[in-house]
Amino acid sequence: MHSTDHASWLRVSLVSSPSIDHLDQQTDWSLQSLTALLRSNIVPVEYTQEITLFAEDIDAQVAALDVQLKALNAQRAALVWRAAAAHSLLSPVRLLPDELLLHIFSFIYHFDLPYGSPSLPICIASVCKRWHDVVYSTPSLWCNLRFPLPGHPGDVPPLSIIDTWVERSLPMPLKIQLGHEYSPFPAKHRCLELVSNLHLYGWRIQALRLFLDRRHFTLVNALPHDSFPVLEELALGIHDGTWCDELVTPAFTDSLRLRRFSLIMHLKSFCDVNRILPGFPFPQITDVFIRSTSPTIFSFLWKLESLRTATLIANGFYRSGSPFTALVSLPIETLELEGRYVEFAPFLLSFSLPRLREFSCNLTDPWHTEYGLFDAHARTLQHFIARSTSLTRLAMRNMQDESMLPLFEDPHTFESVEEFKIGIYKADLLLWPRFMKMLAYHRTSSVSPLFPRLREVEFDIRLNRQQETELERIDESLAAMILSRYTAARYGAMQLLERCHYRWEEYAGMSTAREHFLAQLQSCFDNGLVMEGFA
């Protein structure tokens, strides 16, 4: 074959080839043909260009297929992730033993859920057959009834449905709530019927919360005296405009197990303590929560001979003098006061709590200064705390202003306190250096520091640390106070401080309080100081 003919043949075969396989079939790849091609003077530039174009076309097709392949892989990965997520959620639950599943349901059920949670067992039971069987075989999930239900805000189910619900809870004790704090129980027919029939469930009711108005009083007053023989906790909510003197029911006379009592009266409710609830077992109450006017609170307190824990909230401004001519001693061990100083001044002056161990003081200044100097309230509170010689835990809402510093002037008032917590607001930071000085130990000073037995202290600062301009001064005074108390502990002058919680609100930093004070308080940390909170 001549060289010219061979070149023509090769050109035709390359250009007309639709594929590599077709090219291979048309080309003579024998040794003789290749040898002749190599011995010729032909330079296959044009042929290589055509081959390159062919290869580029193949590359374009491969690139398009790569895009499709990546898209398909992404879709596949998303589907695999969804399947794995669903599997991780469902499979472990299906493998849980019934005992553990029941424990989870019970935790959710007895958690402080929003008003209207009785429908929770039905919601859980509707998920699957296994959950249905667990719920319907567990009486403890049916023992909490709150009416009205969320879907029926103005009414309750028929008594036949309530009876069925109650039967499922056998033999567990019942907890029943009618109405809620901000809305009294409705007065529709079925609601009134339920109130009048409460005594039918009374032999099983352990806790009862009634939020009523005068429309219910007649029915409650008609309940028999032995309606609730196993009752341990009772809460009565009296709504605005109601004279609770009309509540004279004997239903709780024989409630010999009753220990916890709550009375929630709104601003425009009125009460004559000497007329309400005749025969009520006040002397056996050990735990009380009262939110009412201060005169009503004081009138109730003298009846509570066995009181151990009390939360008293004055919700209206009423000046009143002391109802007693001599100190009244109460066995209260845990006390929380919330309101204005002027409202609780008669309480602080009239009651002595020699067994008081925990005191939370959330008192604020009165609206106007016409009621006297603020420091008079501080000294009244100081005398009250001084009479409580067993006090070990003290929590205060804040330092108020300079008028409250007299409260801390006499360190002997707080000699028994071992744990102290105080809230700090913007105005309080002006007093921070002076307060730290009161807490610090000064070896050459004749004035004893506050809280010589203090083991734990918590400063709850309600400010944004990053916006505070005096941050360095505040930190340094705290560190100096802690160091001084550790020095005093070495000399045996006071108790060793074990824990300091230094909390700032809205802090988004990375370091902790311990890391922040590591250089200054290393010796204290070596001696066991626990520093908590964000720096």
Question: Is residue 190 exposed (0-12), middle (13-18) or buried (19+ Cβ within 10 Å)?
Answer: middle
Q: Is 494 helix (H, G, I), strand (E, B) or coil?
A: coil
What are the tokens at 497? 């401080």
What are the tokens at 393? 């835990």
The region of weakest confidence among 13-22, 71-80, 200-209 is 13-22
Rounded to whole angstroms, the Cα distance separating 134 from 96 reads 12
Residue 438: pLDDT above 80?
yes
Rounded to whole angstroms, the Cα distance separating 297 from 294 reads 5
Q: Is 365 helix (H, G, I), strand (E, B) or coil?
A: coil
What are the tokens at 145? 């009834």
Residue 166: pLDDT above 90?
no
Q: Report pLDDT digits (tens) over 225-267.
A: 889 999 999 998 887 665 666 788 889 999 999 999 999 887 6
Give the rounded distance of the alpha carbon of 281 from its chain centre: 34
Residue 29 pLDDT class (50, 70, 90 cuts): low
Residue 367: pLDDT above 50?
no
Burial 219-258 (b: 16+ CB within 10 A, else e): bbeebeeebbeebebbbbbbbeebebeebebbbbbbbeeb
Predicted pLDDT of residue 116: 42
Task: List C-alpha distances in Å: 251 to 89, 210, 247, 258, 294.
Answer: 50, 13, 11, 12, 27
Closest CA to 276 of 287, 292, 260: 292
Closest CA to 366 of 347, 339, 348, 384: 339
Query: Would strands 205-212 and 174-178 be described as parallel, antiparallel, or unpaired?
Result: parallel
Residue 26 pLDDT class (50, 70, 90 cuts): low
Residue 13: pLDDT above 50?
no
Q: Report pLDDT digits (tens) over 459-485.
A: 998 888 877 778 888 999 999 999 999
Note the helical H segments in 96-249: 98-110, 120-125, 129-136, 159-168, 189-196, 214-221
Closest CA to 471 of 502, 442, 500: 502
Residue 454: pLDDT above 70?
yes
User: Taking a C-beta distance cutoff of 8 angstroms, is the pair 297, 312 a contact?
Assistant: yes
Predicted pLDDT of residue 370: 43
Predicted pLDDT of residue 479: 93
Residue 34: pLDDT above 80?
no
End-to-end CA distance of the chain: 94
Residue 22: pLDDT above 80?
no
Structure-model confidence comparison of residues 235 and 5, the more confident one: 235
Please state, rounded to an integer, the average pLDDT across all residues of the chain. 80
What are the tokens at 163? 């009876």
- The whole-number average pLDDT for the span 116-140 is 78
Q: Report pLDDT digits (tens) over 179-235.
A: 877 777 777 788 888 888 888 898 999 999 988 877 888 888 889 988 999 999 999
Predicted pLDDT of residue 11: 46
Residue 17 pLDDT class (50, 70, 90 cuts): very low
Topology of the domain covering 93-141:
Monooxygenase (1.20.1280)
Closest CA to 338 of 370, 313, 369: 313
